[in-house]
Structure 1
């Protein structure tokens, strides 16, 4: 089967285009010149740019094996072709006297749209789990035991065990046995910069360096579960992507009869930092000395000390830390959605209160430590503040701020994709170039304006998007519908890559039963798409234009209800979330309980919409959230498109100006229920801000995870990734 790179639909092998979305299954566009090139090609035949899909191959052999030469295929299916490298196609990376020889190299994937052997085996594993496998003693068979039973190599087990825990571990793409040989294919991180080089160059601020150490401390504990702590002790294995994402190149098993301790980790950290300017920061040097000497005995002690250093480093740099809002009670329901029989809330003009914030003030450390941090904070380049990202709202919009704001820790994770054209976009600059560009723009500020509060003009650097819908594990049909239309115009010059983009993104969750809810959701999407083709001119549509479009979609569904004489719960309807993107400006609109989230490195996770349901209406009226959601009708919708005439619909509309790289998530409640996004955004969303990571596969992974943890309802989502940089001026279109 050929898996569509756009929508992940599985097509017959002889298809040339996807049956679902029409995407080509034979050719893609060269990222340099736009020429159509075969998915199996290594380079573009027109400009010579590398366009192939590359994986890192690791082979463990027992006994003597014939050395494979350049040009030979790694597998019998002739899918993975060995590529050249220093010393040949494969290089030995273990002791030649060992019985187990370890080789690594790179392979070109000549059939990148085909499912991998490992992917097929994991699907079989899911069938095993569904059949409730038990051994002779009546105990459930472990997942690891199932992996071995279905033929997954032992070399692959640590990667599979940690695949949902932390994204610093590379993604495993394929794995198989061959006689005395085990083969695994991993995402290729060889172009990631060595962490030691990055620190020697002084490219990271102090607090971000401390965050890297905190990540490694957390990872140390996870790796102990699979006996791979050695992975953090190999200097060449510690990497950092362009956008400062930390990751391992591969996993190394801890040698037999070796007991690794935190002292070993401390020794490596001392070596990494000894040539950097950060050695002048005495509190950090003291912590590493304590770690290497054994004075810090547990991970918990180490994490507490690192958190204290990071807190004071952040305070010294004057960074503003906004406390997260109090989360709502967990939604627990069977996924059924009904529209309230009464009218919408009439309190739109009332003085509504947002959910109260709750914060815990961290204890302040001693002054000596603060002063040391302040002195050391001048060692690394200081990034300019992105300023106040929010526009000013009035009336109801000022009151209904997002339900949930979760600030991002400086720890970041990274999902992996092969070395394809998406990984080498010239537009992807690291944060240092962002900072230096910001500093170059300081001269544009007015006299006396503080750099920390100035909002620099931004321009769009790239835009990518993806959409996917899934029926879920319990529903027999899909009432969700989404629409995604975008246009991107790119320009290359000596200043780099810039682009102009326009995108319309819509997710609707229908209600009303079979052949009704799915009709309503599709009608809403298609009506809005036609409307904005006619009414979106040069600039982003204003509030009035957007509201007219939403009301038009409502009227179209309402007219069908009236024509068919439907009443009560038999009237079909749908929720709506919509985002309109034009360069660095975004407008969002919503009706119902589908949601839009914003994710960024500095801002973390923020819910941009407030559910239109009875529980939220009560909260806005001053009721405690726990009491509001104890009502039996708490999740009943107060607004939806279709059941009532347009005079009962008032969409929430707001505007955003992008000041940093941003990921938007539009989703139905099948994805957001039970606080799934708020709980797992750091694992599944933060990594997708990086252009190194494929949005389509990242979205599919998120929805697969949601099916495991929710699955009671249809699941639909759209992701939009917008990367920006300070406006450099010059250039015309």
Structure 2
């Protein structure tokens, strides 16, 4: 059991959040390395050398030293904390005589997760005491084993695990890192029959892009271990940790080619001739540098994307497109935009489009161009420089949650929403397959005397009922979606007419709607209710308001 640092409730050790108060139980790992001698080249060449002691901890009489006999309990503070500040605590109690090996990995908990990491505090403290920037003193502040993490983690986020803390004494170096032990290994994803060749090309490109930076820190083995290569929720290739080369071993780009060959031999798909040829060229020395490797991979990706585009043209109803809804004169428009003066104005157009999740992610990557020049320069050599590839998306998990609040200015709530998700899970030796279908509707009503909530509820109910009969298998086409929106529009119009509402008393509502089928989504919206997408790059607005001011900007 593990005690929550906030409420002291004892939770099972596998919990990520406290069962009583819901506070996060931040899971980290500590890497404890026995005494070594480290030297770094500080002449600006970025060389990094690790020289292990050759005496294997033998004293002058040939006996094992006290350091080599040291146990884990000897290293710990009270209550199984690994630091004197009592912030990082072992997740599992140690065995009584558990010896510390040359390198030990331990699961730990951050007992003060809301606080800044000790590393950030240390850097801030150094910057206030010195006129120079903290980065100029990194070699003096950080243990040598921690320096590569700090140098690479921002440049290659989220590939490199985040360094939380690091310290060194006469006997050990201790690093506190993000724990990725529960992440999916590349070897697991490699065996899935649903894995697309384009995903493999992208992962190979990431490895090639990272190789030169790891060479500078003698950390090439990080990319040559099956257990160290992981896949995150965004299908990005990540490292579990940095692995440094042994003192008696050297690596070059041919080792990466050999590793790729071993991976390709395990892949069940036989349509990877181009990748196999590239791996062979690397091993034989025909291709010698990472720039040429990345050019070849980009060319392979273009060829694969060309094949995908050809296939998509044959099923053109799944292509993304913007459509306009023209409301016929016989059906007065009532799905109205809420203006600043609360005066309803007829809507003239709405947008709906079928977009793959891959295309949405592409839009988010393109959005990076909008950051300022400083951010661009900082990321110039980072993971964001990878070419945009329309990677196939496999659905691993789908959750939905809805909530609405009246706010602080109004006395009644005019919002209405509906969320329905149907999941079908199929597990087999080939892996887990998740089939999903979801309808998500949000309406923000307007109109006096409870008119707004009536309009929003009426639109939600009309659309929900409509798609029960007009959505069978594949996602509805644009004409079907138009008809559904117009039917909701007509229902609100008839309600206004029946109650003889006029002027600002006429009720209306905005609409934003998503229809989801596996990895395909349709988005339709009316008015100024917005749809956002949240990824590792942050929030990205996917819809443009139907509002007079916004229309002028556009």
Shorter-chain TM-score category?
0.5 to 0.7
Q: How far, CA to CA, are the matches of 1:85 and 1:197 in structure 2?
A: 30
1:461 aligns with 2:461: no
Deviations 1:48-96 (A, max 9, x none): x99733112212231627322496111223222213499999896xxx6
Instruction: Check if 1:239 corresponds to 2:230.
Output: yes
Look up the match of 1:111.
112
Match of 1:79 in 2: 87
Q: Is the 8 A contact 2:89 2:110 kept in 1?
A: yes
Q: Kindly tell me the number of residue pairs found equivalent between the two proteins.
A: 393
Return the alpha-carbon distance in structure 1 between the equivalents of residues 300 and 183 of structure 2: 27
Aligned equivalent of 1:408: 362
SS of the aligned residue for 1:244 comes to coil
Against the structure 1 CA distance between its residues 152 and 462, is the aligned structure 2 distance closer, same or farther, given a 3 Å change threshold? Answer: farther
TM-score, scaled relative to structure 2: 0.54
Q: CA deviation at 1:301?
A: 1.0
Name the SS for the 1:408 alignment partner.
helix
Alignment partners' CA distance in 1, 2:181 and 2:317: 32
Q: Does 1:387 align with 2:318?
A: yes
Q: Determine the structure 1 residue equivalent to 2:103.
A: 102
1:53 correspondence with 2:26: yes
Aligned-partner Cα distance in 2 for 1:218–1:461:
33
Per-residue displacement from partner, 1:364-416 (whole Å, max 9, x unpaired)? xxxxxxxxxxxxxxxxxxxx999244452157758999xxx99739999xxxx
Q: 2:175 aligns with which of 170, 175, 184?
A: 184
- CA deviation string 1:669-726 (max 9, x = no partner): xxxxxxxxxxxxxxxxxxxxxxxxxxxxxxxxxxxxxxxxxxxxxxxxxxxxxxxxxx
**How far is the alpha carbon of 1:610 from its aligned partner?**
8.6
Aligned residues of 1:540 and 1:580 also touching (Cα < 8 A): no
1:164 aligns with 2:154: yes
Residue 214 (structure 1) aligns with: 205
Change (3 A) 1:179 1:171: same
Q: What pairs up with 1:344-363 in 2 under 5 angstroms?
A: none
Contact 1:221–1:299 (Cα < 8 Å) also in 2: yes
TM-score norm. by structure 1 comes to 0.43
* C-alpha distance after superposition, 1:444-491 (max 9, x if no partner): xxxxxxxxxxxxxxx9732599xxxxxxxxxxxxxxxxxxx9989899
Unaligned runs of 5+ in 1: 1-24, 28-35, 135-140, 323-383, 413-429, 435-458, 466-484, 506-525, 546-554, 556-577, 613-637, 641-648, 653-733
The residue correspondences of 1:499-538 to structure 2 (distance < 5 A) are: 536-537=456-457
Could you say which residue in structure 2 is the equivalent of 1:587?
Answer: 525
Q: Over the residues paired in the alignment, what is the CA RMSD in angstroms?
A: 5.7
Aligned counterparts of 2:416 and 2:241: Cα–Cα separation in 1: 37
Paired with 1:61 and 1:285, the residues of 2 have a C-alpha distance of 40
CA distance in 1, matches of 2:458, 2:229: 47
- Change beyond 3 A, Cα 1:400–1:193: closer
Q: Do the aligned residues in 2 keep the contact of 1:579 with 1:588 (CA within 8 Å)? A: yes
SS at match of 1:221: helix
On the 8 A contact 1:210/1:310 being kept in 2, the answer is yes
Give the aligned partner of residue 153 of structure 1: 143
Q: Are the aligned partners of 1:486 and 1:501 in contact in 2 as well (CA < 8 Å)? A: no
Paired residues for 1:231-630 under 5 Å: 231-241=222-232, 244-256=235-247, 259-278=250-269, 281-318=272-309, 387-390=318-321, 392-394=323-325, 408=362, 432=394, 461-463=399-401, 536-537=456-457, 539-540=459-460, 587=525, 589=527, 608-609=543-544
The CA distance in 1 between the partners of 2:202 and 2:259, in whole Å, is 16
Give the match's secondary structure for 1:154: coil
Cα deviation for residue 533 of structure 1 reads 6.1
1:639 to 2:549 alignment = yes
Q: 1:285 deviation in Å?
A: 1.7
Question: Cα deviations across residues 511-565 of structure 1 (Å, max 9, x unaligned)?
Answer: xxxxxxxxxxxxxxx999x9966753254597989xxxxxxxxx9xxxxxxxxxx
**CA distance 1:78–1:463, change in 2 (3 Å):** same
Contact 1:214 1:306 in 2 (8 A): yes
Judged with a 3 Å threshold, the aligned counterparts in structure 2 of structure 1 residues 272 and 74 are, in CA distance, closer, same or farther, namely same
Q: Using a 3 Å threshold, how does the CA distance of structure 1 residues 89 and 587 change in structure 2: closer, same or farther?
A: farther
Q: Is there any run of 5+ residues in structure 2 with no aligned partner, and where?
A: 36-56, 58-66, 327-347, 354-358, 367-391, 404-414, 426-433, 462-484, 493-503, 505-509, 517-522
Cα 1:228–1:41 shift into 2, 3 Å: closer
Given the alignment, which residue of 57, 66, 71 partners 1:67?
Answer: 71
CA contact (8 A) 1:503 1:582 kept: no
State how far apart, in whole Å, the 2-side matches of 1:238 and 1:406 are. 26
**Residue matched to 1:120:** 121
8 Å contact from structure 2 (residues 231, 238) kept in 1: yes
Distance 1:410 1:650 in 2: 24
Q: Is the 8 A contact 2:208 2:294 kept in 1?
A: yes
Q: Quick one: structure 1 residues 581 and 393, their matched pair in 2 at CA, closer, same or farther if it must change by over 3 Å?
A: closer
